[in-house]
Structure 1
């Protein structure tokens, strides 16, 4: 998709949809949001909807989040997912044989032998 051919209003809607879609356990959408909209939020000349993509409006409910944009929040969410999944994969690979039947039930394929 070429974002140069899309209206600014549609860019804002698309950025928000990808950000919210990432909460449905789809961190890949956050990664796409980072790559597609980082340039639109921070590099291209200013336009009306850009301030909303950038997130310049003050957040009164959560003031500690006000400087973060949809793009930055997508990046934070994506990297948190990477940390959580990497931790789980490491723990599972190391301790699966010790878990006995539970480790076997959680495995898609059961490797032969023990490490």
Structure 2
């Protein structure tokens, strides 16, 4: 979608909607919201709705980054500790590798 064709109030409405959808444990939507509205929030000349758009872009970016860090930490811990967890580690695995590395 071309954001330049939307009036400012519709941009705010769309940005807010993407943020709320991201709150339903969909951090990818937050990432899309942060990227999609970044120029609108920080690089365009000031307008009335821009302050709120900026707030939603910042919260979406921070939320997506926090989810990314948490996911990366989980993957690292799981990959390093799966063998020591025994049967619990195997039951969490989709494909159970044979033996040890």
Name the TM tier (shorter chain).
over 0.9
Structure 2 CA distance, aligned partners of 1:78 and 1:15?
Answer: 15
State how many pairs are aligned: 101
Counterpart-to-counterpart distance in 2, 1:21 and 1:89: 25
Q: 1:18 corresponds to which residue?
A: 18
**Cα RMSD, aligned residues only:** 1.1
Equivalent position of 1:79 in the other structure: 65
Match of 1:105 in 2: 91
Which runs of no fewer than 5 residues in structure 2 stay unpaired?
A: none
Normalising by the residue count of structure 1, what TM-score does the alignment of the two structures yield?
A: 0.82
User: Does 44-53 or 92-101 show the bigger shift?
Assistant: 44-53
**Alignment map for 1:23-42 (pairs within 5 Å):** 23-42=23-42
TM-score, length basis structure 2: 0.92
1:103 deviation in Å? 0.7
Q: Report Cα offsets for 1:44-86 as digits up to 9, x if no partner.
A: 12222222213xxxxxxxxxxxxxx111111111111111101
Deviating beyond 4 angstroms after TM superposition, the runs of 4 or more aligned structure 1 residues are none
